[in-house]
Amino acid sequence: MKEFSTPVRVYIEDTDAGGIVYYVNYLKFMERARTEFMRSLGYGKDYIFNHDLMFVVRDVNVSYERPARLDDELMATAGVSRVRGAGIVFEQRILRAQELLAAGTITVACVDRAGQKVRRLPAVMVNDLQDFQA
């Protein structure tokens, strides 16, 4: 699977009192990677808004392997494992150098912005995502 990656720095706001990244913040790091990945394919905010789209997280499964700490330089990745109808399944990782800290499978659904009802992904987006998946 092809994988997109983006750097993430751990700031004090990301950590607990012991300087360890709070578990929910790994999801924020993964969100950033998905957003930057989609932007790299040409599906940034302007495209999404102009096509009456919105993506909502439908399902999350994360395994936490090692802690990240204050001031760590991390890499957040996003790869596409499945595209279908109105959904995208992302395989994501958070790494420090080559060390796996967290891995997750995140499923997002495409909805229309106005009524927030499920809608099919645009055909061009499906093609681009399937190309990346290969």
pLDDT tens sequence across 22-56: 999 999 999 999 999 999 999 999 999 999 999 99
**What's the length of the chain?**
134
16 is catalytic: yes
Taking residues 124-134, what's their average pLDDT? Answer: 87
Task: Give the residue-averaged pLDDT of 111-129.
Answer: 94
The residue ranges of every structural domain in the chain are 4-133
Residue 133 confidence (pLDDT): 81
Q: Which is catalytic among the residues 16, 46, 71, 131? A: 16
**Assign residue 49 a region: left if phi > 0, alpha if psi is -120 to 50, beta otherwise?**
alpha
Q: What would the DSSP string read from start to end of 52-121? A: TEEEEEEEEEEEE-S--BTT-EEEEEEEEEEEETTEEEEEEEEEETTEEEEEEEEEEEEEETTT--B-PP
Average pLDDT, the chain: 95
Rounded CA separation 47/5 (Å): 21
pTM of the model: 0.94
For the domain 4-133, what is the CATH superfamily, name and number? Answer: Hotdog Thioesterase (3.10.129.10)
% of the chain exceeding 90 in pLDDT? 92
